[in-house]
Amino acid sequence: MPQLGLLPGRAWTVLLGLLRPPPGALCIRAVRSHSQGTRDLSPQQMVVREKILDVVVSCFKRHGAKGLDTPAFELKEILTEKYGEDSGLIYDLKDQGGELLSLRYDLTVPFARYLAMNKVKKMKRYHVGKVWRRESPTIVQGRYREFYQCDFDIAGQFDPMIPDAECLKIMCEILSGLHLGDFLIKVSDRRILDGIFAVCGVPESKFHAICSSVDKLDKISWKDVRHEMVVKKGLAPEVADRIGDYVQCHGGISLVEQMFQDPRLSQNKQALEGLGDLKLLFEYLTLFGVAEKVSFDLSLARGLDYYTGVIYEAVLLQTPVHAEEEPLNMGSVAAGGRYDGLVGMFDPRGHKVPCVGLSIGVERIFSIVEQRIKTFGEKIRTTETQVFVATPQKNFLQERLKLIAELWDAGIKAELMYKNNPKLLPQLHYCENMGIPLVVIIGEQELKEGVIKLRSVASREEVAIKRENLVAEIQKRLSES
């Protein structure tokens, strides 16, 4: 089967355009493509995805999370005013009479809506599902208009930083479990960033604009960010320089201590609260054995409006493949933070439910793993078939059908060729191509003697087994392998 699932929609349009009959031909059809920025997942990709999601979901369940599912679309009003500048990326449904609907943009807002609607005050949930964003798709980076998110969130009023530390522990477990190479989790706090802006003299009206400039520090240099602040956003140069002193700092718990001593920042109440929480966080991360994976990074800003406290973002530290290859800039592979105000926005009386959570960027992880598989030429089995039912002779369809039904009924994964009189060689080739380990062969000789031939595809060894012992023998072999 052609492996073209990763081609962008536009390439398909061109490709299929070439194949179309000329205008006026009898059979004029529209371009048979999928929509731009989306893709089909081929069986190979599905296997990779299933393995990755299994690591992620196992970890969520290890931490006691319950599953939850919400509809693909929400009432439009649920999503408005939650995503700041990015609201233009929301897909709306056509007004066909009835309610105005939009496809969900993330899994966090539907979770908050669920909590408020059901008056749930406490919940640890995970959700794996698709979300949709009208972005210009830059597919090389693993960005699509439809993609999976894997979210874990803890809602409820608890003693400070215990759930927050668990979220970071979960990120470490998942990134280690996926063997993506070394990684680092940058952590900061919205209150510290706001405190820095305040003590540096940023006018409050410019907090948001300056925050979004800081957010670019992982892509462009401080010099360029400073230029943007001063020239584009009208900040006084000395204010920008003061910010620069801060946001270029990163380190561990010692940087937290240093900031506590900072003569200006230590005057800001919000910043002190954030620093106090970060100190506690590092204490817990040390107990969890993951503190060395976490860096306090004052350049971390995170775009979304709804964060209110600690924020974090995991980045891979090296390319996962050979050193001599072009490094892939995969951006962050996991992120999250605390959002204590979002649920209250959906509650008629504004009752708040504090929340903290994380989202695993599985699409980027898919891309990395797919790239690695391509590089190493790894072969992936797309089926789990254990036994193939074959015959070397004509007129054995009836026997094959009876036999395979017996295997299926015993829970054995089995296939046969949908032909009345297949030749033996293509049947054996199919097993080799598909990685099927066992073949049972039935022919005239076997039927007469009441036996079946059992063949190992790898060793090509064949043994005759009594028909009535076949299922037991296959189950024994499968349990040993």
Sequence ranges of the binding site for L-histidine: 106-108, 133, 149, 153, 302, 306-307
Q: How far apart are CA 330 and CA 318, in angstroms?
A: 10
Q: 142 and 364 in contact (C-beta within 8 Å)?
A: yes
x-marked contacts with a second copy along 27-66 as a string, rule CB under 8 A: x-xxxxxxxx-xxxxxx-xxx-xx----------xxxxxx
- For the beta carbon of residue 157, count every other beta carbon within 10 angstroms: 10
- Output 401 or 463, the one with its CB closest to a second copy: 401
> Residue 158 interacts with a second copy (CB under 8 A)?
yes
The least CB distance from residue 442 to a second copy, in Å, is 13
The least CB distance from residue 32 to a second copy, in Å, is 4
SS3 assignment for 280-295 = HHHHHHHHCCCHHHEE
- Output 67 or 450, the one with its CB closest to a second copy: 67
Q: 366 and 142 in contact (C-beta within 8 Å)?
A: yes
Q: 226 and 269 in contact (C-beta within 8 Å)?
A: no
Q: How far apart are CA 278 and CA 137, in angstroms?
A: 36
SS3 assignment for 414-460 = EEECCCCCCCHHHHHHHHHHHCCCEEEECCHHHHHHCEEEEEECCCC
Q: 274 and 189 in contact (C-beta within 8 Å)?
A: yes
> Residue 139 interacts with a second copy (CB under 8 A)?
no
> Residue 380 interacts with a second copy (CB under 8 A)?
no
Question: Can you read off the two tokens belonging to residue 200?
Answer: 């540096």
Question: Can you read off the two tokens belonging to residue 283?
Answer: 């204490």
x-marked contacts with a second copy along 210-249 as a string, rule CB under 8 A: ----------------------------------------
Of the listed pieces 154-162, 180-188, 199-207, 215-223, which binds a second copy according to CB under 8 A?
154-162
Q: How far apart are CA 260 and CA 275, in angstroms?
A: 7
Beta carbons within 8 Å of 349's beta carbon, 6+ residues apart: none
- Output 164 or 262, the one with its CB closest to a second copy: 164
> Residue 408 interacts with a second copy (CB under 8 A)?
yes
- Output 26 or 425, the one with its CB closest to a second copy: 26
Of the listed pieces 75-83, 192-200, 225-233, 324-332, which binds a second copy according to CB under 8 A?
75-83
Of the listed pieces 96-104, 198-206, 332-340, 364-372, which binds a second copy according to CB under 8 A?
96-104
Of the listed pieces 16-24, 194-202, 252-260, 366-374, which binds a second copy according to CB under 8 A?
16-24
> Residue 167 interacts with a second copy (CB under 8 A)?
no
The residues in 289-328 that bind a second copy, with binding defined as CB under 8 A, are 289
Q: Residue 114 in 3-state DSSP?
A: helix
x-marked contacts with a second copy along 100-129 as a string, rule CB under 8 A: -x-x---------xx-xxxxx--x-x----
The least CB distance from residue 262 to a second copy, in Å, is 28
Backbone angles phi, psi at 123, to 5 degrees: -165, 140
Question: Can you read off the two tokens belonging to residue 325?
Answer: 């290859």
